[in-house]
Structure 1
Amino acid sequence: MAGKNRFMASLLALLDDDKFMRDVVSKPCSATEQVNVRCYLNLVEKILSQAIAIVDDVAKNTPPKGDQCQSKSSTSLSLEPSLPLSSTINELCYQITCKARNNDVYQTMASLFNMLSSFSWDAKAVLTLLALSVYYAEHWRLAQIEESDDLLSLTAMLRGSHAIGKSSDTQRIKAFVALNNLIKLALEFTKCAVEFVSYSKDFGEISASVDISGHFYYIIVIILGCSVQFSGLISMSNEFLGQDLWTFLERVTTKYESFKKEVENLREKHVEQISYQKIKKLFKHCTDIVELMAALFCTKNDFSTVYQCCKRTTVTVEKFKDKNVMLLISDLNLSVEDLGTLTSIYSECNFQCSKYKIMWVPIVEEHNEVMQKKFLDRRSEMRWYTSNSMVSKPAAKFIRKKWQFRQQTKVVVLNKQGKVVNMDAMAMIRLWGKEAFPFTMSKGKELWNRQGINWLKLVVNNMVFPDVEQSQFEREELIFLYGSADDLQTVQKLKNT
């Protein structure tokens, strides 16, 4: 027992040995052996799912399920003969079991990585986990048969193995359960790392900050620990009953949970990227405003609905069918003036009778409870439509890039086919109000070309200095416009003149 405990103590020390890890991972990885990592990982999952279920039944003292005792698996697997299966797996199994018993942990790890030098890092971990899966599953499968097969029971005794499937040793069963949990964790850790590799191609800058080879190294340490503990537990010599198992499990769980968050972050970005590309593609080929509105403002949880503010209820996006849509794009600090102008336009009878709809598009950097409350408060002041929640990150990214939204409130006008007829109608709405209807660029040109426009009155009264009284223009008074944030002294002199 002491020898096995020394091995586990060394394995725990290896988790903190950054120098050894750096020495291992810094060696060039030739990756000359091509491996279908996903295929092998699926195989690992199929094998372990059945073996893990057997252990769970043993722990609960329940009979094994029928599908676990079938002589043939109901799942057919197609493996290319050129893939390194039998010889590599057999050698790896020997490395992590028999050879590990006779070497110290550093020798074993060095031997493993020397053998796997021609494989990529994800292949190293997956193939080593597959070797453990075969070893683990074979013993548990035989354990189920041994219960009713005297010959297998006799040969198991001669091999020095316990009849592990019917063990009444409470301490041993608890150790098996803990080991089972550790193997589950090794599988999840490997799946996370392989998933990370698939994302790293699209998110190079983010993934570069993560030492993925170090994580694969860590997984192989876990796999070796699982193998050593299992070989000790099934030995009749009682070499190891899991005294160090709980410490090891706690340590690697902490490492896994930390890495899992990084993978979840990339997974979220990956999903957002896919959604963003779908929106871009749809916008390019869009022929129906409803399709575009659903893609931009309806998440999978919205069931293709938007929020109708005046009725305080959700409605289907089909409400926009054959309609022109004015997208009011802003952050949550939409000005009272802009809100009032648009409300007056919306209330006009001509607008109500027209085939025009207004949709508020709230865009924020962070989605949190504070912003959500502010969004709901602002929404309660409106009468038109908006999204059920703040605009999703993919949609916000599209709006920022395609329609140049930079926090300044703007109105993008879309026709019935979802095509842009005015990239920013907000300026003309502020200047002309309801006269800007139907808010197209051609209408804007028409307004600017009208005869008799008092340019000073138009600009000053609405945009620069709204407090100027109408009577001042009628009296044809001389109006001075002055001001400077950088030269207050000059401004003061003008006031005193």
Structure 2
Amino acid sequence: MAAPISLSLSSLASKSQQLVRNERRMFVASDDGAMMKQIQSSHAPDGRVVDVKPILQVIENVLHHIIPNIDHTMNGGTGHIDALDDRTNSSAVGGALDALAYIVHKICCEVSCKCSGGGDAHATTMGILNMLSSYSWDAKVVLTLAAFAVNFGEFWLIVQLCTSNSLAKSVALLKQLPDLLEHSPTLKPHFDALNKLINAMIDVTKCIVEFTELPSEFISIDVPPLSTAMAHIPTATYWIIWSVVACAAQITGLVGMRHEFITSTSEAWELSSLAHKVSSIHEHLQSLLRLCYQRIDEKKLMEAFEDFKRTIETPQMDNLKILLKIFRKEETCYLMNPDKTEVLIDVLRRKHVLLLISDLDISHEEIRVLEALYKGERVSSELNYEILWLPIVDRSTWNDGFEQKFLSLKSIMSWYTVKHPFAIEPAVIKYIMEVWGFFKKPIAVTLDPQGNVLCPNALNMMWIWGNSAFPFSSEKEESFWKAEAWTLELLVDRLEPNLPTWVSQQKVVCFYGGVQMEWIESFTTATKGVAKALDIGLEMVYVGKNNAKERVKKITGLIKEKQFSHAWEDDNVWFFWNRLESMS
């Protein structure tokens, strides 16, 4: 009796080969208008909702369990590997499949029957689409993939257990399944192609499901790029179902497998070509999905921007609501205090706060000068403000080097700092740049205890008038300028402690800069010579040059060594040029 069974079942192999070869005729058919109309005409959803996510998770568990075992067997391994961590929620899956088990079974039977009979792949695909006409596109692909997972899973269980389980061995004998290990050299191309196609099918299916989950409040299905993606999903669905039929045909070909199937390479080529097409579909859908997420992020950013703008322009009871909105919602609002201890942002509630905003190129000189003001003598007991550093960084280029630079800067600051730059809400960064005008050069935005913005950049007045400009409001700055006279003292106040003495002695004071040592030597010698000839009291002070730190440092050392004149240290040089710029 064995021979007739073997002969009868072996005929399935040639029929399945015929089914796979039929793909060549229809390989690009779904891409023309007529075929698209045929696909669309099969779609008549009745509004039923299918929770596809838990079903898809089980499908992935099945197929991703089989694939590594196939690779293991084709590479000469024995036994089976079970490395997957199955986190399937059985109750969720059971609930999702309660009303769907029958339709999954029908698809299983349809695929098995048509593949066994050598039917046309396109006709089988359209038959399944018509069977699933009342379901959404994502449900169609998931249910079809579920049917394939059932068929392939049952097949592989028999293959895997037939050497150790008598029942599986008997079923394998009746099906005339081959010894995969024995035929692995010739079957490997078939299974390699099958694995690639299965992975591509899963990728496209997950992509289709992901499109259905996009938040409608941030992206419209009627507007590109989502409308473009939705127009491509019917074709993608068609090719996924076609691929299931092709994979099932390949597996059916192993039943009663004959020599010509073992040695044939055309089936492997067909599956490889199909895998390439499905992978191309995935790449295209993935690119559209990225555009959708980009559009969603832009919409979220604008909504958050407008929300922050409304908040900061609306009178508040205190500054806490504004301070909280500076940070991402998912972040717990912890800061690092001057003692480098984690504290809640509430510590800044109802205080004057300077938001020090910079990138990671803020100079150490600027930090030290600001620290001198922050920790220095306060002009009155009411002068009480805190500084909070908000570093603005580019997330797309962030690396370990920037991380270390951030940590280094944070460690030398004696005021409050964020725990990490990524904690800052992107919409607030947009506001900082567009409304407060931040671009590379540090600024300090003043918030009063009620959260009102007193000045979009208080650094200029701080460099000129120091803490006497508190509370660092635009009105205070304007009143200072109205009352201020342009004098040498205004320019170099606190930078040159000897200036009052020199002025009282009626000396001529010459501040000079530059980075050419030969010129400096010539200039100082000539100037001293003229002063001596005219019997004029003269003091000369070297003030360096803006943005030439290392060269200025070297020249300062030479000037002091040769006693050409007085010369300031790095911090005073930086302070002088920034103070001068603040007055312009």
TM-score between both structures, scaled by the size of structure 2: 0.58
The match for 1:420 among 442, 448, 451 is 451
Distance in 1 (alpha carbons) for counterparts of 2:471 and 2:329: 22
Q: Identify the residue that residue 144 of structure 2 maps to in structure 1.
A: 128
Distance in 2 (alpha carbons) for counterparts of 1:294 and 1:341: 24
SS in 2 for 1:260: helix
Letter in 2 for 1:420: G
Deviation sequence 1:364-383 (CA, Å, 0-9, x none): 7x94589x99xx89x99xx8
1:400, distance to aligned residue in structure 2 (A): 3.3
Distance in 1 (alpha carbons) for counterparts of 2:227 and 2:318: 37
The match for 1:322 among 321, 336, 347 is 347
1:6 correspondence with 2:21 = yes
Contiguous gaps of at least 5 residues in structure 2? 1-13, 379-383, 492-584
The match for 2:327 among 269, 283, 295 is 295
Deviation sequence 1:458-480 (CA, Å, 0-9, x none): xxx99xxxxxxxxxxxxxxxxxx
Structure 1 residues 256-295: aligned runs within 5 Å: 256-264=282-290, 266=292, 292=324, 295=327
Q: Sort the Cα spacing of 1:351 and 1:252 in 2 relative to 1 into closer, same or farther, 3 A.
A: farther
Q: Sort the Cα spacing of 1:351 and 1:59 in 2 relative to 1 into closer, same or farther, 3 A.
A: farther
Deviation sequence 1:278-337 (CA, Å, 0-9, x none): 99799999986998499359999xx978899xxxxx966649783564224478999x9x
Distance in 1 (alpha carbons) for counterparts of 2:287 and 2:372: 49
1:139, distance to aligned residue in structure 2 (A): 0.7
Distance in 2 (alpha carbons) for counterparts of 1:63 and 1:285: 70
Distance in 2 (alpha carbons) for counterparts of 1:135 and 1:19: 32
CA RMSD of aligned residues (A): 5.3
Whether the 8 Å contact between 2:73 and 2:184 is mirrored in structure 1 is no
Whether the 8 Å contact between 1:89 and 1:127 is mirrored in structure 2 is yes
Q: Sort the Cα spacing of 1:49 and 1:13 in 2 relative to 1 into closer, same or farther, 3 A.
A: same
SS in 2 for 1:215: helix
Q: Sort the Cα spacing of 1:433 and 1:293 in 2 relative to 1 into closer, same or farther, 3 A.
A: farther
Distance in 2 (alpha carbons) for counterparts of 1:342 and 1:155: 79
1:76 correspondence with 2:90 = yes
Distance in 2 (alpha carbons) for counterparts of 1:177 and 1:200: 38
Q: Sort the Cα spacing of 1:298 and 1:11 in 2 relative to 1 into closer, same or farther, 3 A.
A: same
The match for 1:106 among 117, 122, 144 is 122
Distance in 1 (alpha carbons) for counterparts of 2:300 and 2:203: 24
Letter in 1 for 2:142: V
Q: Identify the residue that residue 359 of structure 1 maps to in structure 2.
A: 389
Distance in 2 (alpha carbons) for counterparts of 1:328 and 1:73: 47
Q: Identify the residue that residue 570 of structure 2 maps to in structure 1.
A: none
Q: Identify the residue that residue 104 of structure 2 maps to in structure 1.
A: 89
1:195, distance to aligned residue in structure 2 (A): 1.7
Identity over aligned residues, as a percent? 19
Q: Which has the larger radius of gyration?
A: 2
Q: Identify the residue that residue 155 of structure 2 maps to in structure 1.
A: 139
Distance in 1 (alpha carbons) for counterparts of 2:122 and 2:459: 74
Distance in 2 (alpha carbons) for counterparts of 1:315 and 1:22: 66
SS in 1 for 2:275: helix
1:38, distance to aligned residue in structure 2 (A): 1.3
1:245 correspondence with 2:271 = yes
Letter in 2 for 1:42: Q
Structure 1 residues 157-176: aligned runs within 5 Å: 157-159=173-175, 161-163=176-178, 166-176=181-191
1:265, distance to aligned residue in structure 2 (A): 5.6
1:3, distance to aligned residue in structure 2 (A): 1.5
SS in 2 for 1:173: helix
1:227, distance to aligned residue in structure 2 (A): 2.2
Distance in 2 (alpha carbons) for counterparts of 1:269 and 1:286: 35
Contiguous gaps of at least 5 residues in structure 1? 309-313, 463-497
Structure 1 residues 231-242: aligned runs within 5 Å: 231-237=252-258, 239=261, 241-242=267-268
Deviation sequence 1:24-55 (CA, Å, 0-9, x none): 24765424332111122122123323333432
Q: Identify the residue that residue 504 of structure 2 maps to in structure 1.
A: none
Whether the 8 Å contact between 2:107 and 2:147 is mirrored in structure 1 is yes
Deviation sequence 1:103-129 (CA, Å, 0-9, x none): 323222221221111111111111111
Q: Sort the Cα spacing of 1:352 and 1:260 in 2 relative to 1 into closer, same or farther, 3 A.
A: farther
The match for 2:66 among 39, 44, 51 is 51
The match for 1:117 among 127, 130, 133 is 133
Letter in 2 for 1:222: S
Distance in 1 (alpha carbons) for counterparts of 2:270 and 2:317: 61
1:181 correspondence with 2:181 = no
Deviation sequence 1:156-179 (CA, Å, 0-9, x none): 4444x4145544342213422331
Number of aligned positions between the proteins: 435
Distance in 1 (alpha carbons) for counterparts of 2:485 and 2:187: 91
Whether the 8 Å contact between 1:329 and 1:360 is mirrored in structure 2 is yes
Q: Identify the residue that residue 227 of structure 2 maps to in structure 1.
A: 208
Whether the 8 Å contact between 2:19 and 2:120 is mirrored in structure 1 is no
Q: Identify the residue that residue 221 of structure 1 maps to in structure 2.
A: 242
Structure 1 residues 340-351: aligned runs within 5 Å: 346-348=371-373
Whether the 8 Å contact between 2:137 and 2:237 is mirrored in structure 1 is yes
Distance in 2 (alpha carbons) for counterparts of 1:333 and 1:25: 57
Whether the 8 Å contact between 1:93 and 1:132 is mirrored in structure 2 is yes
The match for 2:55 among 32, 40, 55 is 40
1:222, distance to aligned residue in structure 2 (A): 2.8
Distance in 1 (alpha carbons) for counterparts of 2:375 and 2:164: 87
